[in-house]
Chains A and B, each alone.
Chain A
Amino acid sequence: MRHPAKSLSAVLAAVLGGLVISGASRADGIDRATALSFSCTTCHGPTGLGSKSVPKIRGLDSKDLEQSMKGFRSGEEQETIMGRITQAYSNEEMELLAQYFAKAE
């Protein structure tokens, strides 16, 4: 048998509780590094696994990745398209991306 009054308070508590939980928890959103990584995987393969001659970037050393990106940007490392792409990214974004792909299993 249902008890509307009890049910109502239970449901409202659940709704409010849910709102509070989802408001406080960022775990269920998409974090910044993941969102940034979405532009890399278009060419570098789903989750950065590489695609034909486009190199794998997942699971590499984060310092190496970061240095490569910064090297492309400064022109120190020559490559046909990465030099143009890296102009758009900040040091902080490169560090986030390097850590993200290094950690990816």
Chain B
Amino acid sequence: MHKLTRRDFARLLTVAGTGVCLNMLGSAARAASGARPRVVVIGAGFGGATCANFLRSYGPQLDVTVVEPKKQYITCPFSNTVIGGINDMSYITYDYAQLQARRGCKLVQDTVTAIDANARVVRLKGGGTLAYDRLVVAPGIEFQWDKIAGHSLAASAGIPHAWIAGEQTQILIKQLQGMPDGGVVIVAAPRKPFRAPPAILERASLIAYYLSVNKPKSKVLVLDPNDAEPKLAQFLKAWGEMYPGMIERISGPAAQVTRLDAAARTVYGPNGESYKGAVINLVPPQTAAAIAATAGLTDKSGWCPVNPASFESTLQKSVYVIGDSCIAGDMLKSACSANVQAKACAAAIISSLNGAKMHEQALTTAFYSLAGPKFAISEVQTYRAVNGRLMSVAGGVSETSAAKRIRLKEAEYAAGWYKSITAEMLAL
């Protein structure tokens, strides 16, 4: 028996004049010729890498290629413990060796510059192309520098966000180490939606922890223009107990940073309110990473609308968007959301390639925030698609009145969660 190539098959169908759309039969033709269905994954974070791992675990017949520009992955979860001096950078630094060796995912160190959803091809910065049967887009966030007058990517070398972990984390740590005792550290949040909103309160807490140990006369000023976080009462209580008088929080419209004077180390609110700090940790407003917009996956909001069960884009066929860049109803943008979305998406892709039934999903997330090394506050939520939208059906935050031993237990659970979620991401 001879093997038919894809081209032979296409020619044959054309000869036969079947009138069947070739593009639709593409995967079937590949299957008939013995080729493995190809899935390309853009971005190897908590969304992309987890999805790749689960695609290969539950669909060993799949050919999975992950495109990621970075060799190392430094996690945002637990990066606040590094800023607080509790862990070092090695605690949050990983590579993709096991994803390749253990799971057989192909890693391409490059950046996707364009997606041709009709031809089912992605183009790489390095000049190559990758063809796919299904595409997973998990590129994360992009900062909107222009929403803060006087701010820029270049200025972030001196006014760190540390909201993508790595070099930025180290810049913030160096500034905290270099500031005088008695200085003010500003932690400024953007308006929602943005990545991991409760992590602002964790950031403030663990900076206060570092200061309480090393520079106890210093203060932390939190600028948060959003409605109160569900965890706020729990944090305020923790701050009173652990860092009395050290953390001040300003909320409402006046807390929205609209202008930066980097040289004067001052940020400004919309009505000229000014806040001066020895260190300014300014988290800019965010949108889906640029490739999502370039590929026509974003709507007017700047984020990507998706089917809430499969995470397939509602704008491009056979393209799935997971993680911070997608619009997932009530789900927070977080590593844990990306993780459960990645697994649901992997299940949806495997089912769709096999023509099998896709089951209703229940997506449970656990979001731990540390207020100190042995003190965590948990929020759990379970989301289900209700009338086409992912809505929380049950969940909540651990009680404000919870005893110290519960907070300790939640801190221990947080460490277990972190080990588990990174293992699921990187096939550890």
Question: Chain B's interface: helix, strand, loop or mixed, by majority?
Answer: helix
Distance A84 CA – B380 CA, assembled complex (angstroms) = 7
Q: Find out whether the CB atom of A45 lies under 8 angstroms from the CB atom of B2.
A: no
Contact of B419 among A2, A14, A52, A85 (CB under 8 A): A52
Give the interface size bracket for A toward B.
Answer: 35 or more
Q: Are B32 and A11 in contact (CB under 8 A)?
A: yes
Closest Cβ–Cβ distance, residue A92 to chain B (whole Å): 12
Quote the shortest CB–CB distance from A89 to chain B (angstroms): 7
Residues in A with CB closer than 8 Å to B171 are none
Q: Are B364 and A88 touching (Cβ within 8 A)?
A: yes
Interface pair B355/A23, CB less than 8 Å apart: yes
- What does DSSP make chain A's interface, helix, strand, loop or mixed? helix
B 334-366 binary contact with A (CB < 8 Å = 1; else 0): 001001100110010011001111110111111
Residues of chain B from 367 to 398 with CB closer than 8 A to chain A in the complex: 378, 380, 382, 384, 393-396, 398
Q: Say yes or no for B94: interface residue by CB 8 A criterion.
A: no
Spot the interface stretch: B23-31, B148-156, B247-255. B23-31
B111-119, B225-233, B407-415 - interface stretch? B407-415
Q: Say yes or no: A30 contacts B419, CB within 8 Å.
A: no
A42 lies within 8 A of chain B by Cβ: yes
List 4 tightest A-B contacts by C-beta distance, closest first. Answer: A29-B356, A88-B382, A54-B416, A52-B416
Q: When chains A and B are docked, how far (Å) is the Cα of A23 from the Cα of B339? A: 29
Interface locus among B7-15, B125-133, B189-197: B7-15
Q: Within 8 Å of chain A (Cβ to Cβ): is B402? A: yes
Q: Which of A42, A87, A93 contacts B417, CB < 8 Å?
A: A42
**A2-B2, A84-B395, A84-B396 known; A93-B355 Cβ under 8 A:** no
Task: Give a binary string over A60-103; 1 marks a CB under 8 Å from any B CB, 0 the rest.
Answer: 00000000000000000000110011011100010000000000
The interface residues of chain B lying within 8 Å CB-to-CB of A2 are: 2
Closest chain-A Cβ to B420's Cβ sits at a distance in Å of 4
A52 and B363 CA atoms in complex are apart in Å by: 23
Residue of chain B at shortest CB distance from A2: B2
Using Cβ atoms and an 8 Å threshold, which residues of chain B touch A4? 12, 15
- Which of A11, A26, A31, A93 contacts B4, CB < 8 Å? A11
Least CB distance, A84 to chain B, in whole angstroms: 5
B357 touches A29 (CB 8 A): yes
B395 contacts A46, C-beta separation under 8 Å:
no
Considering the chains assembled together, what is the distance between the CA atoms of A104 and B359 in angstroms? 20
A22 touches B354 (CB 8 A): yes
Chain B: number of interface residues, binned into ranges: 35 or more
Say if the beta carbon of B91 comes within 8 Å of chain A.
no
Residues of A within 8 A of B (CB): 2, 4, 7-8, 11, 14-15, 18-19, 22-23, 25-26, 28-32, 34-36, 38-46, 51-54, 80-81, 84-85, 87-89, 93
How far does the Cβ of B64 sit from chain A's closest Cβ, in whole Å?
16
8 A Cβ contacts from B16-38 to A: 16, 25, 28-29, 31-32
Whether A53 contacts B416 by the Cβ 8 Å rule is: yes
Indicate if the CB atoms of B420 and A44 lie closer than 8 Å: yes
Q: If A30-B58, A51-B420, A88-B393 touch, does A43 touch B366 (CB 8 Å cutoff)?
A: yes
Contact B412 A19 (CB under 8 A): no
- Picked from B361, B398, B419, the residue with its CB within 8 Å of the CB of A81 is B398
Chain B residues lying within 8 Å of A35, measured Cβ to Cβ, are 344, 347, 359, 361
Cβ of B424 within 8 Å of any chain A Cβ, yes or no, is yes
**Is B421's CB within 8 Å of the partner chain A?**
yes
A42 near B366: Cβ-Cβ < 8 Å:
yes
Query: B34 — nearest CB in chain A belongs to which residue?
Result: A14
- Which A residues lie within 8 Å of B32 (CB)? 11, 14-15, 18
Q: Does B86 lie at the interface of the complex (its beta carbon under 8 Å from any beta carbon of A)?
A: no
Chain A to chain B contacts (Cβ below 8 Å), 19 pairs: A8-B12, A11-B4, A11-B32, A19-B28, A28-B356, A29-B356, A29-B357, A35-B344, A39-B364, A42-B364, A42-B365, A42-B417, A43-B366, A46-B424, A54-B416, A80-B378, A84-B380, A84-B395, A87-B382
- CB pair B394 A84 closer than 8 Å: yes
What chain A residues lie within 8 Å of B420 (beta carbons)? Answer: 41-46, 51, 54
In the assembled complex, how far is the CB of residue B261 from the closest CB belonging to chain A, in whole angstroms?
42
From B344, B364, B410, name the one whose CB has the most chain A CB atoms within 10 angstroms: B364
* B157 close to A (CB within 8 Å): no
